[in-house]
A and B are shown apart, each in its own frame.
Chain A
Amino acid sequence: MILAISLVVAVVFGSGAFLVLQRDLFRVVVGLTLISNSAFLFIIAAGLTQGTAGFAQGAVPILPIPDSYMASDPLVQAMALTALVISMSTIALLLSLIYRLYVAHETVDLEDISEAEMRLAEALEREEEPEQEGEPDVGQAEEEIEKRSR
């Protein structure tokens, strides 16, 4: 049982970590959801030291509990529930941030977004050029940025 749960936690966490490293922002959020879920599984597993979940024994764990009944720890389940709500709110927030970026750039790919930002920064620099003509390194820096963006 311990091995099975640890394997599940590891696989879920690993797939989440893989997705977080992608460039697509939606995949990042899905990956984070998976990673949080692996943590909840881990919490539940932390309380499975004695007995099994109530439904497996055909009884509901409400007082008075029969002597033969081994109840698993209810506290961890309450903890998992709390953490679940917190994670859901954060994921919702992340999705709204992605939507905001999508509205601005019409893409959710991290590279496209940073390219667009680079172009914006260059445009700003060009506008300010007349003021900074005394500094020779501005032009050079601009050329460098252009080279990199190509």
Chain B
Amino acid sequence: MTGSTLLLLPVGFPWVLAVALALLDGRRPWVGWLAVAGLGASLVSAFLLVHRILREGPVEMVTGGWPAGVGIVLRADVLGATFAVVSVGVILVSLVYEVFVGVRSRTFPTLVLFLAAGLSGLFLTGDIFNFYVFFEVSMTAAYVLTGYREQDYQVRGAFIFAVVNLLGSVIFLIAIAALYHVTGTLEMASVAERVREVNPNSLITIATAIFVAFALKLGLFPFHFWLPVVYVGSHAPVAAILSGALANIGNYGLLRFGGEILSEELALGAMAVLVLGSASIIYGALQAISRRDVSEVLAYSAIGQVGYVLVALGIGGAIGLSAAVIYAVVNSLNKALLFLVAGLRGPLVGAAFAVGAFSLMGVPPAVGFIGKIAVFKAGLTASGVVQVAILVALIFLGSALSFVYALQIYQRAFLSKEPQGGLWRKSSPWTARALVVALAALVLAMGLWPEPLLVLGEGAASTLIEGGSP
């Protein structure tokens, strides 16, 4: 199979199938399984793509047979393909979960497929405007998904989510237009080359706009206000998709635009990025400790966890960027596992939650440890003794606080004999429980055999640095 075919498949499978399934009733199990098969094919092709990129380097193609420089460029490197695999994987698990529990809306499988197509598209594109278009495809699907099950609070959550994120998209669109205006091109590689000759003043404004747009998507500390309402209200697999897959747009965007295209501006604003990341870690953890409801705790914990990615990004350099990639991947797996488990009841669910909680804290057998140690190592490479001391203390403090809230919710949800809100009476289908146990096993396995993750992290960091240097 040639590289360019392989590049199209992760986007093509879910896209074509999504259009076809839109005509069918998604509540029927076979339609759900068809969507699962399409996503599975997309995941396999993304895996093959990663394998090929690691062996032969980045894959690139120009759509529509146009000459290079005219047509839209699709480009897959280690960073994009890694994020594509993780996001499509999380979406696949969440979709299988919902099919086991029972889909209640005819559009659910279609929307999930559109979201997956948009996400893998934006990870595998080499064109800034195309990035925006795919990003909107997945965001629009996500707005609808947030209202899934159509409870009043879910519809209200979807409205808030759509309004806030539409504002973020507009800011990003303005930044793209400005970037096009100063460089005269939309192709990421040429933009990265040409920004070096641009007046730094205008670039700082553009970089700030891009940062604000992605921070809004991530729910970083000063931009987090919408996140708890949306995550708490949404149905478990939707929350898993939002925080495990969709939030990767923010991570990837910050890495791609900050780490590669506008790397000099990132270095200039490194202090601001570090401060915001630290504030996010502390604020998210403290809020999480003070909440009682499991999904609320997880929502605030999500705000805290993205802080680590930001801190690693602010430290920069090969070690910092690879730590950011590794932590982003680890965090998507943790959040997907925890949000899925939070929607289940019955035997073995507690065990799966415990694995997720340990991974969140960064206790060794789980994969969270790999993420924490990577950020820790990056913290040690920061310049200046005072900064190293502050960062190391921060990482310890954040982990200690996550210990408190993770064990608190474990105790409340799984150790108490009192049924909470009458939800405990019936245990969930065993298939869904088996699924989360399998996901927990994956989290453990990746912690025991971290080499692939580390190779991907380092590969992604080196592509970013190569792309960003003249």
Asked if A20 is an interface residue, CB under 8 A from chain B, the answer is yes
Interface residues of A in 39-97 (CB under 8 A from B): 39, 42-43, 46-47, 49, 75-76, 79, 82-83, 86-87, 89-90, 93-94, 97
Known A39-B174, A97-B159, A131-B422: A49·B181 in contact at CB below 8 Å: yes
Known A39-B177, A94-B162: A100·B155 in contact at CB below 8 Å: yes
| Complex Cα spacing A131 to B423, Å | 13
Q: Are B170 and A101 in contact (CB under 8 A)?
A: no
| Complex Cα spacing A20 to B377, Å | 44
Residues of B within 8 A of A98 (CB): 159
How many residues of B sit at the interface, in one of the four size bands? 20 to 34
Q: Are B162 and A93 in contact (CB under 8 A)?
A: yes
| Complex Cα spacing A91 to B426, Å | 40
Residues of B within 8 A of A49 (CB): 181
Residues of A within 8 A of B174 (CB): 39, 42-43
| Complex Cα spacing A95 to B418, Å | 42
Q: Which of B139-147, B316-324, B362-370 contacts A (4 or more CB under 8 A)?
A: B139-147
Q: Are A128 and B421 in contact (CB under 8 A)?
A: yes
Contact of A93 among B143, B177, B181, B418 (CB under 8 A): B143
Q: Are A104 and B158 in contact (CB under 8 A)?
A: no
Asked if A28 is an interface residue, CB under 8 A from chain B, the answer is yes
A111-129 vs B, Cβ < 8 Å mask (1 yes, 0 no) = 0010001001000000010
Contact of A39 among B133, B150, B156, B170 (CB under 8 A): B170
Residues of A within 8 A of B418 (CB): 134
Residues of A within 8 A of B136 (CB): 86, 90
B153-167 vs A, Cβ < 8 Å mask (1 yes, 0 no) = 101101100110011
| Complex Cα spacing A46 to B177, Å | 6
Interface residues of B in 179-199 (CB under 8 A from A): 180-181, 186
Contact of A42 among B143, B153, B177 (CB under 8 A): B177
Asked if B279 is an interface residue, CB under 8 A from chain A, the answer is no
Q: Are A46 and B178 in contact (CB under 8 A)?
A: yes
Main secondary structure of the interface of A (DSSP, over half): helix
Q: Are B163 and A94 in contact (CB under 8 A)?
A: yes
A19-48 vs B, Cβ < 8 Å mask (1 yes, 0 no) = 010000100100010011011001100110
Asked if B212 is an interface residue, CB under 8 A from chain A, the answer is no
Residues of A within 8 A of B177 (CB): 39, 42-43, 46, 76, 79
Give A41 Cβ to nearest chain B Cβ, in Å: 10
| Complex Cα spacing A46 to B179, Å | 9
Known A32-B163, A100-B150: A93·B180 in contact at CB below 8 Å: no
Known A36-B170, A79-B129, A90-B140: A101·B159 in contact at CB below 8 Å: yes
Contact of B173 among A39, A105, A117 (CB under 8 A): A39
| Complex Cα spacing A32 to B162, Å | 10
Cβ-closest chain B residue relative to A48: B181
Give B327 Cβ to nearest chain A Cβ, in Å: 31
Residues of A within 8 A of B147 (CB): 97, 100
Residues of A within 8 A of B163 (CB): 20, 28, 32, 94
How many residues of A sit at the interface, in one of the four size bands? 35 or more
Q: Are A128 and B143 in contact (CB under 8 A)?
A: no
| Complex Cα spacing A39 to B166, Å | 12
Asked if B466 is an interface residue, CB under 8 A from chain A, the answer is no
Cβ-closest chain A residue relative to B133: A82
Q: Are B155 and A93 in contact (CB under 8 A)?
A: no
Known A35-B167, A49-B181: A43·B159 in contact at CB below 8 Å: no
| Complex Cα spacing A39 to B158, Å | 23
Asked if B56 is an interface residue, CB under 8 A from chain A, the answer is no
Cβ-closest chain B residue relative to A25: B159
| Complex Cα spacing A146 to B421, Å | 21
| Complex Cα spacing A43 to B174, Å | 7
Contact of B159 among A20, A42, A94 (CB under 8 A): A94
Contact of B181 among A20, A35, A46 (CB under 8 A): A46
Asked if B451 is an interface residue, CB under 8 A from chain A, the answer is no
| Complex Cα spacing A47 to B178, Å | 10
Interface residues of B in 396-423 (CB under 8 A from A): 418-419, 421-422
| Complex Cα spacing A94 to B143, Å | 9
B29-55 vs A, Cβ < 8 Å mask (1 yes, 0 no) = 000000000000000000000000000
Give A143 Cβ to nearest chain B Cβ, in Å: 18
Give A123 Cβ to nearest chain B Cβ, in Å: 13
Q: Are B152 and A101 in contact (CB under 8 A)?
A: yes
Cβ-closest chain A residue relative to B136: A86
Q: Are A97 and B153 in contact (CB under 8 A)?
A: no
Residues of A within 8 A of B170 (CB): 35-36, 38-39
14 A-B pairs within 8 Å (CB atoms) are namely A32-B167, A36-B166, A43-B173, A46-B178, A75-B186, A76-B180, A90-B136, A90-B166, A94-B159, A94-B162, A97-B162, A98-B159, A101-B152, A131-B422
Please give the residue numbers on chain B whose beta carbons come within 8 Å of chain A beta carbons, in ascending order: 129, 132-133, 136, 140, 143-144, 147, 150, 152-153, 155-156, 158-159, 162-163, 166-167, 170, 173-174, 176-178, 180-181, 186, 418-419, 421-422
9 closest residue pairs by CB, A with B: A46-B181, A43-B177, A46-B177, A86-B136, A39-B170, A97-B159, A39-B173, A100-B155, A39-B174
> Other CB < 8 Å A-B pairs besides A46-B180, A128-B422, 5 of them?
A35-B170, A42-B178, A82-B133, A90-B143, A97-B159
